[in-house]
Amino acid sequence: MNSIYTARRSKLMENKQGPCLVCIFSGSAPMKSLDAAYPFYVDRNFYYLTGIERENMVLLLRKNHLGEVSEMLFIEPYDEVLAKWVGGRMRAGEATEISGIATIREIADFNSVLNSIIDSTRGLGKLQVYLDMWRHREDQADTPAHTLAAHLQKRYPNVAIEDIFGDMAAMRLIKSEDELALMRKAQQTTCNAILAMLQHAAPEMNERELEGAFDFSLMKQGVRDHAFGTIVAGGGRATTLHYENNDQVVHDGELVLIDLGSAEGNYAADISRTFPINGKFTDRQKEIYNTVLEAQNIVMKNAKPGITTGALNQMVIDYYESRLDDLGLRKDGKTVRDYYYHGVSHSLGLDTHDISTGRNILLQPGMVITVEPGMYIEEEGIGVRIENDIVITADGNEDLSFMIPRTVEDIEKAMAK
């Protein structure tokens, strides 16, 4: 398995000009309260390059001025006492076995090693140091990469900081067969859990119980992680895109919108379905649902290399525009954007909203994207979203979510069991 990670690191460094360094942190779980911490989620770029899911590690890749590449992994030392309480830290041999990195150092040595490398480049021009400078929000706390960048800029004027984001995005956008195998497994476990939820659903049930049916099925399948926080939105709450309370009763005659997915080897499934809590769509619900379903079919028929996700989204808008009058929705000056206010697609992989350079992506073979048109009619208490995950192929796409009930007839049939 470590050959996969070795090949990825080699590809990352092949076009870099020495002298340069690439430094990626695994991250650490923030503290919650007193001696309790939040769950740890490994930095996805670190995992992509090493296959390791442990806190407080640093990957350091170096290319010198002669073009020679070396690799180091900095880890916490094994602690016999700590092992009795929470389990042992990773030993050097295990880190090498997983990642394929031969040189393992203690994390306490990182600053001195970094200083030594920087000192050795004097007279060879500026040393390029590549860091992941991700910051989703302006008020977000600094990551270890931000802290290191500030330290280097202050202490080492001969160092130039570069963002590794573009390089990682280009690599992670195109999925290998090994990655696709994990994503297919996540689709199947998600399908099984959705079926369990559909068969458990009944009027006057709390959204939390529906979520629990999904979670229990995943646990029975041995699934450790969700791809993201589950959304279970009944009735008018489904018109809130990222509704997350999941604590209200769903009444007879209402629809339920779910947005959820399992993860396999950290690779995500991202599925949305909408179903009637009593197992039968009304004529109006069916009318809206089939409109969204046809929009999804249009996108899935047209998604192929050379087209952009922006063009796919415009197809949804154009189709909805053609349906507004028939649906009785062209009133009070409302337009398509009053009923559909998100994009139809995003990249999917190690992150649910996976790494990419921009929102308008030019599709290439090997990319995995979502297809998720929706329609949200607040005044009618109806929110419908249908989401499948597809991989772009040489001449079209493959629906990874084909096994999950999608049509009105298939959903009603699944709920009747």
**Tokens 């202490």 found at:** 155
Q: What is the DSSP letter of 15?
A: T
193 vs 402: CA distance, rounded Å: 15
* Per-residue pLDDT, 84: 79
Q: What pLDDT band is residue 251 in, cutting at 50, 70 and 90?
A: very high
Token pair listed for 269: 């499934």
* Per-residue pLDDT, 66: 92
CA nearest to 264, candidates 226, 229, 212: 226
Three-class secondary structure of residue 262 per DSSP: strand
355 vs 370: CA distance, rounded Å: 13
Question: DSSP of 88-106, one letter per residue?
Answer: PPPPHHHHHHHH----EEE
Half-sphere exposure of 413 (CA within 13 A, CB side): 7
* Per-residue pLDDT, 417: 84
- In the predicted model, what is the mean pLDDT of residues 275-280? 98
Three-class secondary structure of residue 74 per DSSP: strand
* Per-residue pLDDT, 144: 94
Half-sphere exposure of 172 (CA within 13 A, CB side): 24
- pLDDT at 175 exceeding the cut of 80: yes
Q: What is the distance, to the nearest Å, from the Cα of residue 130 to the centroid of all Cα atoms in its chain?
A: 23
Average pLDDT for the chain: 95
CA nearest to 269, candidates 226, 231, 303: 226
Strands of 224-338 (E only): list them. Answer: 225-226, 231-234, 249-250, 255-260, 262-264, 267-268, 271-276
- In the predicted model, what is the mean pLDDT of residues 61-90? 90
Supply the pTM of this predicted model. Answer: 0.95
Q: Give percent of the chain with pLDDT exceeding 90.
A: 89
* Per-residue pLDDT, 1: 60
Task: Give the dihedral of Cα atoms 273, 274, 277, 278; nearest 10 deg.
Answer: -100
Tens-place pLDDT, residues 108-163: 999 999 999 999 988 888 899 999 998 888 888 899 999 999 999 999 988 999 99
* Per-residue pLDDT, 160: 95
**Amino acid residing at 269:** A
Task: Give the dihedral of Cα atoms 268, 270, 271, 272; nearest 10 deg.
Answer: 160
- pLDDT at 296 exceeding the cut of 70: yes
178 vs 269: CA distance, rounded Å: 15
393 vs 389: CA distance, rounded Å: 13
162 vs 131: CA distance, rounded Å: 6
Three-class secondary structure of residue 188 per DSSP: helix
Kindly tell me the number of DSSP H helices and DSSP E strands found in the chain: 12, 21
**Residues 6 or more apart whose Cβ sits within 8 Å of residue 253:** 203, 276, 277, 278, 282
Tens-place pLDDT, residues 222-236: 999 999 999 999 999
